[in-house]
Structure 1
Amino acid sequence: MKSTNQDLADKLWHFVDSYIESYQKVHGHLPVAELDEDWPSSCQQGLFTPQEKHGEQEQQILWQPVKADGNLCFNNIESALELELHPDIKNYFTVFHSDPLDALCQEGQLSLLFAWNENDFERLQENIIGHVLMKRKLKQRITVFFAITDEEDLILSLDNETGAVWVERVGCEPHKKLADSMAEFIAGLTPHIPA
């Protein structure tokens, strides 16, 4: 069954809500990242001031995923590659800005990838182009990655033709199907919040 854009967006926001709630239960505040003044994001929610400071520390920020402004699209990639990307992958990467979100699925731990800001979205697009060109060169079916795993060369990707979610080793054909659709896959995830 193919997912609709709204169904996938709803599942993503449900996961985000669950992630933020779980993170706050474990840590008592929003997620934290290092402050990079050259890499701002609408995700930033203010400076993080830990109760105890142990020596000099990098300045940190509190953050949470925020709705993307609607300017994110893949028209340039599709034109350059002469390829229409599956609607689910376009929707996945344009619903919100976020740092990676850690999750657990039946196969183990993974990190869902998103764009932190518009510059990061451009970098993401370049990486997708590189991935698709590699697939073409190797004469493999076209997939688009959206998550990394705790195993260095294993990624999760979406089959561009069917919309199914697969595990694949970088440079190889997908080898294990995890779900028939992105919405189904996202719905089966639980947040992974280390203490």
Structure 2
Amino acid sequence: MESTSPNLHDALINFSQSYLEQYRDKLGHFPVVEADEQWASPCELSKFNDDLVHWQPIKITEQLSFNNVENALEIKLHPSIKAYFSTIYSESIPATCEHGHLQLLFAWSKDDFDRLQQNLIGHILMKQKLKQDVTLFFAVTDQDDHVVTLDNATGEVWVEKVGRKPHKKLANTLEEFILQLSPDIYVEK
């Protein structure tokens, strides 16, 4: 399964660049996000106004590890989820597919990567407590309490209501899922 990582890496880079290009074509500038000095990111480019900064997804060049999660929970995480969260730093990216609208989640910075790992640990512990197969979230949908997850055993992509078993299969692999997405460009308010 490790061999899928380079293809997933390319799919994520291509998707994030497509989002960036379509955003700039439609709105004439880089995407913007609320400025927060306490959550600085290498994605930040320049001030847009007093409250917002321009940003862009960037390739992660440092080595990120999920060893602490795997060791703490005595579990091996699927290679696809590790590749997904260690490919780019980015604000969440809106996307659409035949199943609806969603937001792909990413780490905004190294500090945010650490926080993401804590959230994944909480999700895994909840699944174990409920005696459900382990899934790992990587996107949220426009439906309340529904997340897009990766089945840790199979690598399949599913929709699940938080606290419930996955109920709708979306793709056989994370790469396959990313390749079927289109950036969803809209004007922030």
Look up the equivalent residue of 1:136 and give its one-letter code.
Answer: Q
Instruction: Give the TM-score normalised by the residue count of structure 1.
Output: 0.93
In the TM superposition, residue 25 of structure 1 has moved relative to its aligned partner by 1.4
1:3-23 CA-to-partner distances (Å, cap 9, x unmatched) read: 611000000011011100110
Match of 1:55 in 2: none
Indicate how the Cα distance of structure 1 residues 186 and 2 shifts in structure 2: closer, same or farther if over 3 A, else same.
Answer: farther
In the TM superposition, residue 179 of structure 1 has moved relative to its aligned partner by 0.2
1:100-157 CA-to-partner distances (Å, cap 9, x unmatched) read: 0000011100000000011111111011000000100100010000000011210000
Within the candidate set 82, 90, 115, 2:107 is matched to 115
**Given that residues 3 and 181 in structure 1 are in contact (C-alpha distance below 8 angstroms), is that contact kept between their aligned partners in structure 2?**
no
In the TM superposition, residue 59 of structure 1 has moved relative to its aligned partner by 2.4
Match of 1:12 in 2: 12
- Determine helix, strand or coil for the equivalent of 1:38: helix
In the alignment, structure 1 residue 88 sits paired with structure 2 residue 96 = no
Within the candidate set 142, 145, 148, 2:137 is matched to 145
- Determine helix, strand or coil for the equivalent of 2:167: strand
**Given that residues 3 and 183 in structure 1 are in contact (C-alpha distance below 8 angstroms), is that contact kept between their aligned partners in structure 2?**
no
Match of 1:48 in 2: 48
1:17-44 CA-to-partner distances (Å, cap 9, x unmatched) read: 1100110111100100111111111001
Answer with 113-122 or 64-73: which moved more: 64-73
Match of 2:162 in 1: 170
**Aligned pairs (5 A) from 1:51-62:** 58-62=50-54
After TM superposition, where is structure 1 displaced by more than 3 Å over at least 4 residues in a row? none
Instruction: Give the TM-score normalised by the residue count of structure 2.
Output: 0.96
Greater Rg by CA: 1
Gaps of 5+ in 2: none
Match of 2:127 in 1: 135
Q: Percent identity?
A: 52
Aligned residues: 187
Distance 1:59 1:104 in 2: 28
- Determine helix, strand or coil for the equivalent of 1:148: strand
**CA-based RMSD:** 1.3
Answer with 1-10 or 18-27: which moved more: 1-10
Indicate how the Cα distance of structure 1 residues 175 and 146 shifts in structure 2: closer, same or farther if over 3 A, else same.
Answer: same
Gaps of 5+ in 1: 50-57
Look up the equivalent residue of 1:140 and give its one-letter code.
Answer: Q
